[in-house]
């Protein structure tokens, strides 16, 4: 059987759009499988809904941590960064983490640290910032070191005082983690 040319779409784009429209409309008309959902217990359904609930970056979370980062010791820094990574693995986007760096710990945030910071630590800090961890630099420590906001990495925020930052974040519901 030959088709009349007037029945065919004028070009490939029209044909593709027509086909897409047919697929969308036909999938909307297909029956859904409600029998399986009825077999699940209400508790299982609630757990599945909770597991499927997505958190987006910037959304408020009930899981909030603030880490005090106040030492320049390499093993200390690696241990703290490791626990931060572990918390991100466990909670994904459903956690808000702030690292408040002060005293000798502030060197992880300086573009040109006054004490040696190994590249692995600098890379981890940068990576954690990429994954949404906030880094706060103590303004009082910067003043003591004769540094300014321009001397810290771009992803960090200067706060007036690191200790006050810790207190204020705890007042906002952050759990305080110190080593």
In the chain, where are the structural domains located? Answer: 10-52, 64-177
Q: Could you tell me the pLDDT band of residue 165, with boundaries at 50, 70 and 90?
A: very high
- Mean predicted confidence (pLDDT) in 20-26: 52
82 conformational bin, left if phi > 0, alpha if psi -120 to 50, beta if neither: alpha
Q: What is the CATH number of domain 64-177?
A: 3.40.1260.10
| Alpha helical stretches, state H, 117-161 | 119-130, 139-144
Residue 41 has pLDDT above 80, yes or no: no
Average pLDDT, the chain: 81
Distances (CA, A) of 106 to 59, 115, 147, 153: 27, 10, 11, 11
- Mean predicted confidence (pLDDT) in 19-23: 52
Judge contact between 153 and 111, C-beta under 8 A: yes
Residues 77-125: pLDDT tens digits?
A: 999 999 999 999 999 989 999 999 999 999 999 999 999 999 999 999 9
Give percent of the chain above pLDDT 90: 64
């Amino acid at each position: 059987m030959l088709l009349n040319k007037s029945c065919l779409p004028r070009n490939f784009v029209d044909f593709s759009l027509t086909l897409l429209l047919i697929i969308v409309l036909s999938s909307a008309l297909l029956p859904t499988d409600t029998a399986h959902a009825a077999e699940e217990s209400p508790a299982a359904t609630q757990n599945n809904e909770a597991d499927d609930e997505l958190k987006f970056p910037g959304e408020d979370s009930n899981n909030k941590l603030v880490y005090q980062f106040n030492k320049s010791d390499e093993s200390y820094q690696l241990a703290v960064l490791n626990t931060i990574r572990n918390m991100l693995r466990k909670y994904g986007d459903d956690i808000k983490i702030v690292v408040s760096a002060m005293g000798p710990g502030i060197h992880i945030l300086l573009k040109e640290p006054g004490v040696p910071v190994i590249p692995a630590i600098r890379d981890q800090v940068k990576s954690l910032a990429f994954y949404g961890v906030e880094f706060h630099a103590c303004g009082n420590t910067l003043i003591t070191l004769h540094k300014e906001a321009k001397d810290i990495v771009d992803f960090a925020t200067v706060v007036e005082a690191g200790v006050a930052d810790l207190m204020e974040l705890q007042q906002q519901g952050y759990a305080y983690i110190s080593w």
